[in-house]
Amino acid sequence: MKRLIYILFFSSFFFSQAQEGIEVILKETIKLDADSFIGMNMFDELFYAKNEVLYKKAKEELFSYQNRLLGTLSSVGLLNSLEMNLFYKDFNTVVKLDKKLGEISKIDFNRSTIFSTISHVASASNKRLWVFNADIQQVQVYNPQQDIIEVNTQPINEPVAAFYSNYNFCWILTNTKLLQYNIYGNLLNSYVLHKFEDVIYYKNYFFLKKKGQLYTLLVGAEKPKMIELAQFTVKDFSVTNETLYIYDGKELHSFKINLNKE
């Protein structure tokens, strides 16, 4: 198989940006032939998509998964490396994969009597799913083993720009705010944010994307601060293991993150 990734080490180039408790230092850049960068998991395994095929690059192994019957891949949940969730919005379907991208099971919301249209999906605790029910504009916690909805939030009367979770919390980004819910459906926090496109939570900070730029927001703060990234334009990004990954459409840049730097 043609090798898709070529590693380019920076031996003399050094980049550092310190801002409001965060310092980022450029460590490495690799060429990446992808339509989208999905992320890096806690084992430093690389996930990306090309021509509707999901790839996983793990050391010297390359795994792939494709489901032509389900069309466009909308999102990939990397929270559990042993059981990843792939969401195909056009077909209202979640596919669960094992660590080698082998298919474990499917959840077809079209066959459910309790759902109609799901627009976003993310992993929750105990093999449950956070879902955004577009028909009633609510975040819900769905138990696929029992086929029941365990939790409903109050309606969110705005389009959802981004949907991010860990096991016990879910963050909803709209055009005007960022909302945080716990696993019981309670609204814990609300931040006024205008027209941000994506969000990741990492160790008491939010990383936010807008118009190719990246911002940070400390939990409890009011105003995001832009990270000056010189010539880098952010297409996709992720944060794992004290490292910020930025994909500009051609290359994947990794930055060492130093948090709470005085």
Domain ranges of the chain: 1-31+213-262
Average pLDDT per run of 10 along the chain, which is 262 residues long? 36 39 88 97 95 94 96 93 94 96 94 86 93 94 92 94 93 97 96 96 95 94 88 92 96 89 46
The neighbour count for residue 45, using CB atoms within 10 Å, is 18
User: For residue 6, how far is the Cα from the chain centroid?
Assistant: 24
- What are the φ and ψ backbone dihedral angles of 120, each rounded to 5 degrees? -145, 145
Question: What pLDDT, on a 0 to 100 scale, did the predictor assign at position 23?
Answer: 85
Rounded-to-integer distance, Cα 119 and Cα 79, Å: 19
Are 52 and 72 contacting, i.e. CB atoms less than 8 angstroms apart?
A: yes
Question: In DSSP terms, which residues pair with 189 in a beta bridge?
Answer: 180
Say if residue 62 is exposed, middle or buried (CB neighbours under 10 Å; 0-12, 13-18, 19+).
middle
- Report helix, strand or coil for 101: coil
Q: Measuring CA to CA, which residue among 27, 18, 57, 25 is closest to residue 40?
A: 57
- Alpha carbon dihedral 243, 52, 115, 119, in 10-degree steps, equals 50
Write the DSSP symbol of residue 60.
T
Q: What is the per-residue pLDDT for 260?
A: 63
pLDDT of residue 21: 60
What per-residue confidence (pLDDT) applies to 20?
53
The candidate with the shortest Cα–Cα distance to 36, out of 46, 49, 52, 51, is 49
- Strands 187-192 and 177-182 come out as antiparallel
DSSP 217-234: EETT-SS-EEE--TT---
